Amino acid sequence: MDVYGKFVGLAEWKVLIDDWLEKSEAGQQPDAFYNLKPDAREISYDAIFVGGGAAGRFGCAALTARGGRGLVIDKWPFLGGSCPHEACVPHHIFSEAARELDYAREFGGEYWYPEWDSTKASILEIRDMFMNNRNTGHSIMNFQSKEQLGMEFILGSWAKVIDNHTVEVDGVHYRAKNLVLCVGARPTPPDIPGIEKYGVFDWASILDDLDYEPNRCVVIGGGKTALEYGSFIQATGCHTTYLSRSPILGTKGLQHVDDDIREFVVRMLKHRGSTIHEGAEPLAILSEGSLGEDKVTGVKFRDAQGNEHVVDTDFVFLGTGERALSHQFDVLGLELNERGQIVVDKQMRTSVPNVYAAGDLIDGPMEMFKARKAGVCAARVIMGETDYEFDYSDFPDFLHTTYEVAWTGLSEREAREQYENVMVIQMPPKGIAPEDCGLPATDGSMFFAFTRPGLNGIIKSVIDADTRKIVGMHSVGFGNKNSFQYLDVLIKQPGGFTIDQMGEVNELFLNDGFPQLHRLRAGQKQLRDL
């Protein structure tokens, strides 16, 4: 379907995209959406973005903004990739549901909350709420990219890379001076006997394939995805057991998570009723039923002491790894690392001339900021900014449980390894029982602070007392998370950000903790813990 030159509104995109997805699900081959200028087959684009997720969409927007000519091709009928379709957006809906349900459970029968009834919270219903409305995200992606950003695209058709200047779609060759590869990654099931059984899900298949209401859940993993989905599942009233080889939040990439933060998160998961086995090795997924139709009944695992156990369950959630979809570009002979990711330099250049890669195809955190900025970096370099680099080795980070957990910089332990004189500002203060304290009382935790002290959260700031610079900040609670994207810039700016400068910040909330607590110590000659 040719949409070039026609105004396509949001409502119209919803219908077009839903229709495409329905046909595709029914095994038909729906028409792709072509938004190409008339000379598309004759010219050589500055770049073709293979993959229209965050990296491809932001890359093409950046290229277009700088006067370049870009083309985005995606197999799905919408731009934005897995984010609006099956990854970040549903994750945020599930996390918001988890937070709401947590309140409903904790305050059931008090104030305006009805008695808590776990049978009322349906995973399927919340999932369906997202599925029935996700075309809102899809349509704004296409509308914004076409009508506002002026991007050319082909959506709903496969791109076959022929060489480093040529991409084929539906038998037609499109030429470009450069290619930017950004088709992402997919969850990879761990190698456990029985992993293919019905009843084992990941963040993608929970959307497409779950067709029953789970009663008990085993989460395999102890990192971000495991905790985020596990917290949601537990919050619905479905008892959740974590089987994690590493300590919870001790997986690769989470080295900056502070010990006090980790302890609080684990204690709060247990408070909500989850069972946690750290150092656990899953041995087999058990099932019952006739061959081919057997359904999960349990997970056998070996605990940290070497003893074997079985956890009964009808639902297993895999919070384990993902694999880059790099092999569809084998024709290019790109250098890959040991995890199958495309190797790039700080300008997103691959080992093949004129080929760049971005997003989850490359190393580094599988996070939105990295995908978007890597795509933009490739575009800027292509458009002649020869010195532009993107370093994604250091970044603010977060996850949701029923809380927002956010951090930037060093943990206290890391700081003590690097600096001789470390000072810590912490609330609740070290040595004080959280349930006796009731602080921090942040924007969003007032109810907990006043009626359930100890459940409200923890904040922490780590300071090099010699230079007075803040070197790490950490928070579990509510209302603080988004400030970390700016705190990260402040504390990592050249020259750093001192406790005294933080003491000058004008707080908007009385007691989110950071400006106010730093101000109480600002100016103190020999800094002491607070």
| Chain residues in the site for ligand COM (CB under 6 A) | 54, 57, 80, 83-84, 89, 137, 372
3-state secondary structure of 428: coil
Q: Which two tokens stand for residue 134?
A: 């996700």
Instruction: For residue 179, count CB atoms less than 10 angstroms from its CB and return exposed for 0-12, middle for 13-18, buried for 19 or more.
Output: buried
Nearer to ligand COM, 272 or 373 (CB): 373
- Taking the C-alpha atoms of residue 433 and residue 370, their distance in angstroms, rounded to an integer, is 39
- The residue length of the chain stands at 530
- Whether 334 is catalytic is no
Using Cβ positions, the residue closest to ligand COM within the complex turns out to be: 54
Nearer to ligand COM, 137 or 247 (CB): 137
To ligand COM, the closest distance from the beta carbon of 363 in angstroms equals 20
To ligand COM, the closest distance from the beta carbon of 144 in angstroms equals 8
- Taking the C-alpha atoms of residue 142 and residue 382, their distance in angstroms, rounded to an integer, is 24
Q: Which residues contact 223 (CB under 8 A, 6 or more apart)?
A: 246, 249, 251, 252, 253, 254, 319
Q: Which residues contact 158 (CB under 8 A, 6 or more apart)?
A: 75, 169
First to last CA, the chain: 64
To ligand COM, the closest distance from the beta carbon of 154 in angstroms equals 16
Cβ atoms of residues 315 and 209 within 8 Å: no
Nearer to ligand COM, 243 or 376 (CB): 376
To ligand COM, the closest distance from the beta carbon of 53 in angstroms equals 6
Q: Which residue has the tokens 């080929």?
A: 355
The catalytic residue among 21, 63, 79, 238 is 79
Reduced 3-state DSSP string for 117-175: CHHHCCHHHHHHHHHHHCHHHHHHHHHHHHHHCCCEEEECCCCEEEECCEEEECCEEEE
Q: Which two tokens stand for residue 474?
A: 């950490």
Dihedral sign for Cα atoms in the order 205, 206, 211, 215: positive
Nearer to ligand COM, 54 or 458 (CB): 54
Nearer to ligand COM, 48 or 192 (CB): 48
The catalytic residue among 88, 238, 243, 336 is 88
Cβ atoms of residues 183 and 332 within 8 Å: no
The catalytic residue among 16, 60, 78, 138 is 138
- Whether 264 is catalytic is no
- Whether 238 is catalytic is no
Nearer to ligand COM, 79 or 98 (CB): 79
Q: Which two tokens stand for residue 240?
A: 């959740």
The catalytic residue among 16, 83, 207, 243 is 83
Q: Which residue has the tokens 């459970």?
A: 105
To ligand COM, the closest distance from the beta carbon of 153 in angstroms equals 12
To ligand COM, the closest distance from the beta carbon of 373 in angstroms equals 11
Q: Which residues are catalytic?
A: 79, 83, 88, 138, 509
